[in-house]
Amino acid sequence: MKVLVTGGGGFLGSAICSMLVSRGDNVQSISRKPYAKLNAMGVAQFQGDLADKGAIHLAAQGCDAIIHTAAKAGIWGDYNSYYQTNVVGTKNILEVCKSLGIPKLVYTSSPSVVFNNGDMEGVDESVPYPESYLTAYPKTKSLAEQMVLKANDDALATVALRPHLIWGPGDNHLVPRILARAKAGRLRKIGNRIVMVDSVYIDNAASAHLLALDHLSFQSSCSGKAYFISNGEPWKLWDLVNEIIRAGNGNPVDKSVPVSLAYFMGWVFEMTYSLLRIQNEPPMTRFLAKELSTSHWFDISNARKDFGYEPKVSIKEGLVRLKASLQKA
C-alpha cells in the first residue's frame, strides 16, 4: 500500500511511518521541513504547508491512503493560525482525496474536541461536542473532525482517532515540557483532589492508526466514526507526571495551588498576553487549569471491537523504556 502521512516528521507521524515501512508499505510524507530520520527510513519527503492544496496534491499522487496527523497544537495563540492549519488544511486533504480518488483517510483528532471543562470519567464516543471552547486548538480540531466524518461516503472512507496524551521515547512536546518545568521549579499541582487520566504510549497510538487503516472501507464498522485511543489504564494525574519526572531524574512535584487561583491566573495571563500581543505561550491559561484539575479517562471498547485495537505496551513498561531513552540522551 502506498500511504501519505502528513506531519511524518512529528512524534506520532514518524512512529507511524516507521511501522508502515517495517511492514513493507510505500510511505511518503509531507511536512514543512525535511527530516533526516525519515530519509533513514526510506520515506519519500515533500515539503509544503497544509494550507497549500497544490503541495498536498503533488505529495499524494498515486497514494492508496492518507494518514493525516499534522496539526497546529497548543493552548494559546492566534485563532486564524489554528484555523488555517487544522480546518483549511484538513479541507484541502479531503479535496485532494476526492480529486485523486484516494479511498481511505485516517484523521488524527483529539479527545479535547469533546472536553466540556468538567470531569470525563469512562465516557465513550456518544459524548457530544460542547457548545463552546476555551481555546482555539480544540475548537478547530472539532470543526475538522466533524468535516472528516461528514465526508465519509462510498468514494472516500474516513475515520477519526482521538489519542489522549501521547508520550514515550522521542517525545518532543509533553515529556520535555514536564521535565523543563519541573527542573525550573515552575510545576504545581492544581487543586488537591484526586483526578484520573488516560494517556497512550507512542507505540500503541501509532499501532491504532495502522489498525484503523487496515480495517477501513466504506462498508466497515469503523467508517465515518470517531474513536478514543488510550492505554486503557487510568492513572492518578500527578502520579503519572511524577513518574515521568523520575524517569528524567527530576524531583517529584509536591506543591499545589488552588484550582480557583490557577483559573484566575489563567484569565489574567490571557488578558495580558492579548493586550500586549505576546506570541509566546502563557505559563497558565483557563483551559490548562481545567485540564489539570479534572479527570479524563475513556471507554476504548469501541476501538477494540471495531478494528481490533489493543494496547501492547503498558504504562509501567513505557516508563521503563522512557527512562532508558532519557539516560541515553
Buried b (16+ CB within 10 A) or exposed e, 185-201: eebbbbbeeebbbbbbb
User: Which grid coordinates belong to 247?
Assistant: 524517569
Q: Output phi, psi for 29, to 5 deg.
A: -135, 145
Is the separation of the CB atoms in 315 and 140 below 8 Å? no
- Cα separation, 293 vs 243, in Å, equals 18
Q: What interhelical angle do 11-22 and 202-215 show, nearest 10?
A: 60
Residue 133 catalytic? Answer: no
From 82, 133, 137, 309, the catalytic residue? 137
Q: Which of 216, 227, 204, 269 is nearest to 125 (CA)?
A: 227
Is the separation of the CB atoms in 9 and 31 below 8 Å? yes
- The set of catalytic residues is 137
